[in-house]
Structure 1
Amino acid sequence: MINDKEFIKFEDGFFKPYFEKFIEFKRGKGEKVANSTLTRMRKLNSLLNNYQSDRITEQMILEVLAPRKGLSEIERQYMTSVLRQFCSFLILLGVEAAVIPTEYMRVARSEFRPYIFSGEELRRLTAAADSLSPARRSKAHQQIYPVLVRILIGTGMRIGEVLKLTRGDVDTINGVIKVINGKNGVSRYIPVSDSLKKILCDYSETIDMSYEDKPFFTSSYTGGHLTYDAMKYMFPKIFKMADIYLPDGKTPNIHSIRHTFCTRSLEKMLGAGMNIYTAIPILAAYVGHMNYMDTEKYIHFTEQGHEDFIKQESALGSIFPEVTNE
């Protein structure tokens, strides 16, 4: 049964009970309905209530999904996706609902372009984290960031997953990090390298690991988990210390470290002779992707990888027969 507290912000109207059934339906299939999705459903419910109708017409769809101030194109596409699914659900229940016009189903492109770090840049990044000066209130960040940066580089974990780690999630004896309810509700165990295991062991000796529910990385300001706001302040600082900049002079996005991990890891697996059809599923499971298409988005050509591809591609020329006009 759905918790009633989740529907406090749903306005009363014809579609409210159908949104509630829709959420139950999605969860019944094993899907995680994120808070952001619930928020979009509440918005759609409010917008549809304005029409005081017991059906969804194409005109209603056009007006609800029309571009407007304060609604980004990416968010509009998310709203479109939710409404498309909801309309299909209503049709199954015998409620009249129009089909989303095809012109609204364009895929929104993110402006984010990952930066793939070189091996030398990764070394400079860890060196910069190791050389942080003490803060006014605490020296804790001098212990935390060298470990945090190495976890990102060595596991490809999402920064949010790292920040949520508790002491019970890190098995320093066996060298395994446990991620519970990561993105899309995916949980996984992440074995780490011997070198990272040693770093985790050394760090664990500076904190009391018997308190399993306490944050693995504790904020000296709040006593709770480190926040993403703290990361947005510290990582540009560390990137600058490491002299790592984008072509436009800005510093890279933290998430680029994850892209780099996926790209470098695939290169190593293929270089070791592993078939790509074997490598991709292994990499997808390790980094917590629900499907292989998600993993493909993280695979980028490095300069060396591109050169290797050109060499291999050029060898294919003798395989294909020439086509003549004779």
Structure 2
Amino acid sequence: MSYHRKSGVISSPAAAAGQGAPRLLDQVRAALRVRHYSIRTERAYLQWIRRFIVANGKRHPRDMGPREVEAFLSMLAVKGNVAASTQNQALSALLFLYRQVLGIELPWMDEVVRAKRPQRIPVVLTREEVTRLLALMEGRYGLMESLLYGTGMRLMECARLRVKDVDFGRNEICVRNGKGGKDRRVPLPRKLEELLRAQIARVEVIHAEDLAAGHGEVHLPHALARKYPNAGRELGWQYVFPARGRSRNPRTGLTGRHHLDEGGLQRAVKAARFQAGITKPATCHTLRHSFATHLLEAGHDIRTVQELLGHKDVATTQIYTHVLGRGAGAVLSPLDRE
């Protein structure tokens, strides 16, 4: 077996001799795309597989097994002191490699030292804090942040929102391919209707300019580009919040306009939080937590909130009951009884 330093890929001697066998990471990449994994998951899995290979002297994974996998994952927890979610992602990447690519079923790895998953309640802003935060944001970022709070969408669900999924007639937004690959509907806040219409009008202008320049084709999920060859150039499939410039799609090689970089929104929220004097470690996801908590405070059924958030299990939604007034804040301290 040989390791290609430039690409970080291990191949067999036959492949190195030019017999055309695909390199290992190319096989992983192909397997991920066949199963419609996101580009983010693809990059993360490839990174963990590279780290696993390098950590074991660049040996081919077929020549290793549970012992090496257990040692690598335990090293992440003990020496790397990684979060439980990070270790689980590395485990998922290696299980995918062995099961889906190499066709090897690893026995249950009982000897892995697991990173401890902390039991934390979500950070939630008060209504007054939300008002202060949103008042300091304007433009596209202000609209996106208002949508996060007003709909309970996740950050990337908002960034990937398409024009066709905003239904002004029914006052709702269809969230496509959310966590777990599920679609759901969320309310379209009436206060944001005018701003959303104006944003979509700007998208229409930008899209017309892209078409005139010989571009204007947006990425379509799964195999829709083959089924509907012209759909990618239609306005309905364009992102509601497009990037400022065109870019090349790493998978298709086509030049088009992707959605805006979510990192800019995250930085804007952080700056607004400091400016608003909010000491809580609030992020974009905090507004999703606040959405759920404020709905429960208003008397909405927990099953309704579960559906709006897209939670598979109501137990996940129940975490928000811990931050309601029925929790510690509703208990009268012995000190206050004097």
SS state at 1:178 partner:
strand
Is the contact between residue 73 and residue 112 of structure 2 (CA under 8 Å) also seen in structure 1?
A: no
> 1:163–1:58: structure 2 CA closer, same or farther, 3 Å change rule?
closer
- The aligned counterpart of 1:316 is none
Conservation of the 8 A alpha-carbon contact between 1:172 and 1:200: no
User: In structure 2, the residue corresponding to 1:65 is in which secondary structure?
Assistant: helix
Q: Distance in 1 between matches of 2:200 and 2:81?
A: 45
Of residues 69, 74, 89, the one that matches 1:78 is 89
* C-alpha displacement of 1:256: 0.9
Q: Which residue of 2 aligns with 1:149?
A: 145
The whole-number CA distance in structure 2 between the counterparts of 1:208 and 1:158 is 25
Q: Residue in 1 aligned with 2:251?
A: none
Q: What letter matches 2:235 in structure 1?
A: Y
Q: Which residue of 1 aligns with 2:117?
A: 108
The answer as to 2:108 corresponding to 1:99 is yes
Tell me which of 71, 79, 94 is aligned to 1:63. 71
Which runs of structure 2 are paired with 1:126-165 in the superposition (5 Å)? 126-129=134-137, 142-165=138-161
1:132 maps to: none
Separation (CA, whole Å) in 2 of partners of 1:101 and 1:226: 43
Structure 2 spans left out of the alignment, 5+ residues: 1-6, 14-22, 206-233, 247-256, 333-338
Is residue 212 from structure 1 mapped to residue 236 from structure 2 by the alignment? yes
Distance 1:52 1:212, change over 3 A: closer
Does 2:270 correspond to 1:236?
A: yes
Q: Structure 2: how far apart are the matches of 1:13 and 1:285? A: 49
Are the counterparts in 2 of residues 55 and 96 from structure 1 also a CA contact under 8 Å?
A: no
Local SS of the residue matching 2:173:
strand
The one-letter code sitting in structure 2 at the alignment partner of 1:178 is C
Quote the offset at 1:109 in angstroms. 3.6
Q: What is the letter of the counterpart of residue 306 of structure 1?
A: G
Q: Is the 8 A contact 1:32 1:184 kept in 2?
A: no
Amino acid of the residue matched to residue 149 of structure 2? I
C-alpha distance in structure 1 between counterparts of 2:181 and 2:271, whole Å: 32
Give secondary structure in 1 for the equivalent of 2:236.
Answer: coil
Match of 1:177 in 2: 173
User: 1:88-123 CA distances to partner (integer Å, 9 max, x unpaired)?
Assistant: x59xx7x6854312553454348x874211111112
Percent of aligned pairs with the same amino acid: 19
* Alignment partners' CA distance in 2, 1:262 and 1:157: 10
TM-score, scaled to structure 2: 0.61
Deviation at 1:149, TM superposition (A): 2.1
The CA distance in 1 between the partners of 2:330 and 2:236, in whole Å, is 47
From 120, 131, 134, give the equivalent of 2:128: 120
Q: Would you say 1:168 and 2:202 are equivalent positions? A: no
* Residue aligning to 1:227: 261
Tell me if structure 2 keeps the 8 A contact 1:55–1:97: no
Q: 1:122 to 1:9 in 2, by over 3 A?
A: same
- TM-aligned CA deviation for residue 26 of structure 1: 12
Determine the structure 2 residue equivalent to 1:11. Answer: 10
Evaluate the alpha carbon distance shift between residue 244 and residue 237 of structure 1 in structure 2; reply closer, same or farther with a 3 A threshold.
same
1:283 equivalent in alignment to 2:305: yes
Query: What code does the residue aligned with 2:271 have?
Result: K
For 1:218 and 1:104, the matched residues in 2 are separated by 43
Whole-Å Cα distance in 2 between the matches of residues 11 and 304 of structure 1? 56
Structure 2 counterpart of 1:242, one-letter code: A
State the distance in 2 between where 1:81 and 1:204 align. 39
1:179 maps to a residue whose letter is: V
Distance in structure 2 (CA, Å) of the matches to 1:79 and 1:178: 32
Q: Which moves more between the two structures, 223-232 or 61-70? A: 61-70
Match of 1:304 in 2: 325
**What are structure 1's unaligned runs of at least 5 residues?**
1-7, 130-141, 312-326
1:294: how far off? 3.9
Q: Matched residues in 2 for 1:239 and 1:59: separation?
A: 46
| Moved segments of 4+, more than 4 Å | 23-28, 30-33, 41-58, 68-71, 81-87, 95-98, 202-207, 219-224, 307-311
Deviation at 1:310, TM superposition (A): 5.3
Distance 1:225 1:86, change over 3 A: closer
Taking only aligned residues, the RMSD between alpha carbons, in angstroms, comes to 4.4
> Residues 143 and 203 of structure 1 are in contact (CA less than 8 Å); yes or no, is this contact kept in structure 2?
no
Tell me the equivalent position of 1:194: 190
Distance in 2 (CA, whole Å) between partners of 1:64 and 1:78 is 13
Tell me which of 297, 302, 308 is aligned to 1:267. Answer: 297
Deviation at 1:219, TM superposition (A): 4.4
Q: Deviations over 1:47-100 (max 9, x none)?
A: 67955686755543343334266683443343235546777x59xx7x685431
Letter in 2 for 1:64: F
* Cα distance in 1, alignment partners of residues 245 and 175 from structure 2: 25
